[in-house]
Structure 1
């Protein structure tokens, strides 16, 4: 069964736009877990524009309380700076169940591409080894759309296995765009192919970015064996209309193959 990890970054964005403590990121995450979410994801960035190091520590404690997965995303190559101790240091303190490595630059609004597995992978391998020594399962963000496949990115999943990763996370932004354009059938085969190659290489497969209630089930039906989806932006947006607990419960039904209530 696919598991749902809710990304609560957007709750922190709203809080930070005004300052203070509201809305409370931990309270929102607790609401998600009470509604049936299987885990919590955050992607702290060096500029602390949403979740902060303090949020990471608080959410780590919450997920331990619930006995669920905490998934910490970030770029392991981003240097430490005031307010951001670095990704490895955050993982050392929080001990997330899963560390998802993403090659985003400081100024990116959101993650929009996977790792380039060409060239020297020794630095990436070193980060993977250090995270696994902390007890983290390690997932690497990878491209899987048709354009990436045409450039030979399919082979990246074998290289991801070669650096010691446990899983890959398929960047689903291009699929979501194709779905909105009415062209999902064209986009999905590339994702299914890359997922199958990853699984053949011994890697688990996660997925995330711009997945929503509308496009999630068609993706899961076309890409068998997805272990986890990380969903934040669409889920929080939908929750503004229908409520957070209701929205999370609908996503849980979708990943479990049930009809949402």
Structure 2
């Protein structure tokens, strides 16, 4: 079964919009895990507009499943990850002013930088994953960095799937996943995956270990409830 890691950034956005501590991220995390999610993902950005760096420290004390911290490995982020020591760090090349992640790494151009950063994290016992587009050459480049896993950036899949062109939407992702497996890389995926498209994606991506889902899952939960939605994802990922 592919693991479900719930990204709680949107809960932090809601909390920050009013100040105070509602919703309480600690209690929400405990609930999410009790509902069956196998991981918690956060993506702190330098301006801390949703997840705050202190949230990472506080969540480390309560997460009992897999703890995944995503972000651009700028010095402040690297220091945070080394302090918190999550289960996994996912490296994402997003600009400071990006609304959301919008591209994978050029693993060839940035190979030397990625090799150094990944080596540091792995020396500290932290599993590494790097965000990549569904491009076989970028997957090959990822294998040269020493990373444990890749995370396939799935926005283009979601966009094309929504047009009804299902088979075409997933083709490049299947090829990228097959190459990653051949090269000994674990395979994660995330971005714009939803209840509508997750089952189809899962069925066409061999050896998919984990998906990280936040925006869609939280939006769907407004209508159907968090516990129900988590269980619907778990059912689709079987």
TM range (shorter): over 0.9
Aligned to 2:119: 129
Please, which runs of 5 or more residues in structure 1 have no aligned partner?
A: 80-85, 145-152, 257-261
Aligned to 1:49: 49
Paired residues, what number?
238
Aligned to 1:21: 21
**Structure 1 residue ranges (4+ consecutive) displaced by more than 3 angstroms after TM superposition:** none
Aligned to 2:71: 74
Once residues 93 and 167 of structure 1 are traced to their aligned partners in structure 2, the CA distance between those partners, rounded to angstroms, is 21
Once residues 173 and 221 of structure 1 are traced to their aligned partners in structure 2, the CA distance between those partners, rounded to angstroms, is 17
Aligned to 2:81: 91
Change in Cα spacing, 1:31 to 1:195, as seen in structure 2 (3 Å) is same
CA offsets 1:119-142 (integer angstroms, 9 cap, x no match): 352121100000111111100000
The alignment's TM-score, normalised by the length of structure 2, stands at: 0.97
Q: Does 1:141 align with 2:138?
A: no
Once residues 91 and 120 of structure 1 are traced to their aligned partners in structure 2, the CA distance between those partners, rounded to angstroms, is 20
Aligned to 2:137: 155
Q: Does 1:212 align with 2:194?
A: yes
Q: Does 1:119 align with 2:99?
A: no
Alignment of 1:2-41 (within 5 A): 2-41=2-41
Once residues 26 and 184 of structure 1 are traced to their aligned partners in structure 2, the CA distance between those partners, rounded to angstroms, is 38
> Secondary structure, in 3 states, of the residue corresponding to 1:247?
helix
> Secondary structure, in 3 states, of the residue corresponding to 1:51?
coil
Once residues 94 and 166 of structure 2 are traced to their aligned partners in structure 1, the CA distance between those partners, rounded to angstroms, is 26
Once residues 110 and 53 of structure 2 are traced to their aligned partners in structure 1, the CA distance between those partners, rounded to angstroms, is 31
> Secondary structure, in 3 states, of the residue corresponding to 1:253?
helix
CA offsets 1:105-153 (integer angstroms, 9 cap, x no match): 0011000110012335212110000011111110000001xxxxxxxx3
Over aligned residue pairs, what C-alpha RMSD do you find? 1.0
Quote how far apart the aligned CAs of 1:187 are: 1.6
Quote how far apart the aligned CAs of 1:8 are: 0.2
Once residues 236 and 187 of structure 1 are traced to their aligned partners in structure 2, the CA distance between those partners, rounded to angstroms, is 24
Q: Does 1:249 align with 2:235?
A: no
Q: Does 1:194 align with 2:176?
A: yes
Change in Cα spacing, 1:90 to 1:3, as seen in structure 2 (3 Å) is same
Deviates more, 1:17-26 or 1:230-239: 17-26
> Secondary structure, in 3 states, of the residue corresponding to 2:51?
coil
Please, which runs of 5 or more residues in structure 2 have no aligned partner?
A: none
Once residues 211 and 111 of structure 2 are traced to their aligned partners in structure 1, the CA distance between those partners, rounded to angstroms, is 26
